[in-house]
Amino acid sequence: MASFVIEGGHKLHGEIVPQGAKNEVLQVLCATLLTDEEVTIENIPNILDVNNLIQLLRDMGVKVSKSGSDTYTFQADNLNLAYLESDDFLNRCSKLRGSVMLVGPLVARFGKAMISKPGGDKIGRRRLDTHFLGIQKLGASFEYDAVNGRFCINVEKLKGAYMLLDEASVTGTANIVMAAVLAEGVTTIYNAACEPYLQQLCRMLNRMGAKISGIASNLLTIEGVSSLKGCSHRVLPDMIEVGSFIGMAAMTGSEITIKDVSYENLGIIPDSFRRLGIRLEQRGDDIFVPAQEHYQIESFIDGSIMTIADAPWPGLTPDLLSVMLVVATQAKGSVLIHQKMFESRLFFVDKLIDMGAQIILCDPHRAVVIGHDRNFCLRGGNMTSPDIRAGIALLIAALGAEGNSRIHNIEQIDRGYQNIEQRLTALGARITRIE
């Protein structure tokens, strides 16, 4: 199991370009199964979760060719349908969270799919009910094989339907949309997720010949078509990486420029960091973060303690709360971090407390951070990354700490961040990977 050794206390300086958005890529890769024509996707990040899904598509019989450093072409004109029922396929699906989004395209195009319970992060329950109930509404039947832990989905012909989702699940909405584009008649999805990544998926499907209206709202209307054609698509920059780099600059008191961030798709993220007292400027499509020795957490207008909580888009993405919590440890003032969506995401704060952070973990969802205002630094520590976002948060803490730190289980970080140690070393960080 690989680890990072980090020498803390070094300032960063320079420019960094965020990678393509992991959460969008996983959706659009699954969408390539909806047509037998070529689909070209640009700005694909070289990270574990994405590479595993591309390899899975290859094994399913999709023709995959790489035409540039981050550009791939996919053609699903001759799938091996027998492989989709094999133990090998189901085992690999179980290790890859994004594999659940194969269900919608497979059911839409071939009338059947099989999936095992997907894996991914240890961040609490991640229900699949939304996916399954939505695809059921379109006319599919579900059977659960408890012995082998797999779901079998079958349908003669998908038919459009009205549905009100029980939660605005991003992957759930993506799955249902991909099934609905080839369904007969009109599908209406209310309480749909409307993240930029999902908007991107809908726009890509429309370029392929789908008829989706209401994009960027929580009410999607999809007029089914008989088939889709090929297209080209460019993936957005990863907003979680952008937020991680803002947090990194603040934590280390560094001046950095984050290039080509697609600012209009960042939503509330820049303002959420400003609430922690962090200065940042929009320069064209870049974000400039000046070196800042001290930053003070704002309070609400009535003087009460600042609360930062996640919420479905256009609220703050839960993926950045771990980063904001770390950054708050060196701010002046106090803040309540309220992680509403996942009940195990805050458990990494124990490691920060060991490093000298002042945090009160109220319950699995809430933590109060009392900022040090750099009166004393965090101490280097020995820690293990439980999930992707906690991994990057611990890395940020280690970069801002005094002394050396060691982070184990960095495969979790590799799942979501491309060549992170080389890219940060280029800015002046001291990170060594040891196997």
Of 211, 228, 229, the C-alpha closest to 220 is 211
CB-based contact 20:240 (threshold 8 Å): no
3-state secondary structure of 11: coil
Q: At a CB cut-off of 8 Å and minimum separation 6, what does 252 contact?
A: 10, 11, 12, 399, 400
Task: State pTM to two decimals.
Answer: 0.92
Task: Specify the pLDDT at position 87.
Answer: 86
Query: Which neighbouring-strand residues pair with 164?
Result: 190
Task: Specify the pLDDT at position 118.
Answer: 56
Tokens representing residue 285 in the block: 């499509």
The sign of the torsion formed by the CA atoms of 431, 393, 372, 360 equals: negative
For residue 178, pLDDT beyond 60: yes
DSSP classification of residue 332:
B
CB-based contact 319:240 (threshold 8 Å): yes
For residue 159, pLDDT beyond 50: yes
For 310-353, write each residue's pLDDT tens digit.
999 999 999 899 999 999 999 999 999 999 987 777 888 999 99
For 182-217, write each residue's pLDDT tens digit.
999 999 999 999 999 999 999 999 999 999 999 999
DSSP classification of residue 182:
T
Task: Specify the pLDDT at position 127.
Answer: 60
For residue 8, pLDDT beyond 70: yes
Q: At a CB cut-off of 8 Å and minimum separation 6, what does 307 contact?
A: 300, 335, 336, 338
Fold topology of 22-234: UDP-n-acetylglucosamine1-carboxyvinyl-transferase; Chain (3.65.10)
Tokens representing residue 345 in the block: 């995401």
Task: Specify the pLDDT at position 341.
Answer: 81
Look up residue 25 and give its amino acid.
V
CB-based contact 104:178 (threshold 8 Å): yes
For 86-139, write each residue's pLDDT tens digit.
888 888 887 787 888 999 999 999 999 988 765 444 434 446 778 888 999 999
Average pLDDT over residues 371-389: 89
Task: Specify the pLDDT at position 123.
Answer: 36
For 141-155, write each residue's pLDDT tens digit.
988 877 777 888 999
3-state secondary structure of 223: strand
**Across the chain, what does the average pLDDT equal?**
92
Confidence of residue 429 (pLDDT cuts 50, 70, 90): very high
Q: At a CB cut-off of 8 Å and minimum separation 6, what does 156 contact?
A: 111, 139
Fold topology of 3-19+237-434: UDP-n-acetylglucosamine1-carboxyvinyl-transferase; Chain (3.65.10)
CB-based contact 96:56 (threshold 8 Å): yes
Outline where DSSP puts E strands in 60-149.
63-66, 72-75, 112-116, 141-145
> Where in the chain are all domains bearing CATH 3.65.10.10?
3-19+237-434, 22-234
| Distance from C-alpha of 224 to C-alpha of 179, rounded to nearest angstrom | 9
Average pLDDT over residues 57-77: 95
Active site residue 238: no
Length reported for the chain: 435
Helices assigned H by DSSP within 290-419 = 321-328, 349-354, 388-400, 411-414
Task: Specify the pLDDT at position 327.
Answer: 96
Cis, peptide link before residue 196, omega less than 30° from 0: no
Task: Specify the pLDDT at position 120.
Answer: 44
Q: At a CB cut-off of 8 Å and minimum separation 6, what does 345 contact?
A: 123, 124, 318, 321, 322, 339, 387, 389, 390
From the list 70, 88, 121, 166, the catalytic residue is 121
Q: Exposed, middle or buried, 164 (CB in 10 Å: 0-12/13-18/19+)?
A: exposed
Average pLDDT over residues 216-233: 97
3-state secondary structure of 78: coil
